Amino acid sequence: MDESLYNELAKMIDHSLLHPTMTDQDVIEGCHLAMEYKVATACIKPYCTSMVSDILEGSGVGVCPVIGFPHGNSAISIKVQEAVKAALDGGTEIDMVVNIGKLLGEDWAYVSKEIRSINEAVNSNGAILKVIFENDYLEDRHIIQLCQICSENNVAFVKTSSGYGFVKQSNGMYSYEGATDHHLQLMRANSAPSVQIKAAGGVRTLEDMLKVKRFGVTRVGATATATMLDAARLMID
Identify residue 92 by its one-letter amino acid code: T
How many whole angstroms separate alpha carbon 202 and alpha carbon 195? 22
C-alpha closest to that of 177 among 196, 158, 157, 162: 162
Quote the pLDDT of residue 163.
Answer: 82
Q: Return the exposure string of 113-131: e unless at least 16 CB atoms fall within 10 Å of the residue's CB, then b.
A: ebbbbbbebbbeeebbbbb
Write phi, then psi, for 128 (nearest 5 degrees).
-120, 165
> What does the longest C-alpha to C-alpha distance in the chain come to?
52
For residue 74, name the pLDDT band (cuts at 50, 70, 90). Answer: very high
What amino acid positions are annotated as catalytic residues? Answer: 95, 159, 198
Count of Cβ atoms closer than 10 Å to residue 60 Cβ: 10
HSE of 64, CA atoms in CB hemisphere, 13 A: 28
Burial class (CB in 10 A: 0-12, 13-18, 19+), 107: middle
Quote the pLDDT of residue 235.
Answer: 85
To the nearest 10 degrees (0 to 180), the angle between helices 76-88 and 108-124 is 20
Average pLDDT of the chain? 95
CA 174 to chain centre: 21
Is residue 236 predicted with pLDDT exceeding 90?
Answer: no
Is residue 173 predicted with pLDDT exceeding 80?
Answer: no
Name all domains of the chain by residue range, CATH numbers in brackets.
3-236 (3.20.20.70)
Count of Cβ atoms closer than 10 Å to residue 211 Cβ: 15
Is residue 174 predicted with pLDDT exceeding 70?
Answer: no
Is residue 177 predicted with pLDDT exceeding 90?
Answer: no
Quote the pLDDT of residue 231.
Answer: 95
* Residue percentage of the chain with pLDDT more than 90: 88
When comparing pLDDT for 163 and 43, which is higher? 43
24-36 mean pLDDT = 98
For the stretch 105-162, pLDDT in tens is 999 999 999 999 999 999 999 999 999 999 999 999 999 999 999 999 999 999 999 9
Quote the pLDDT of residue 9.
Answer: 97
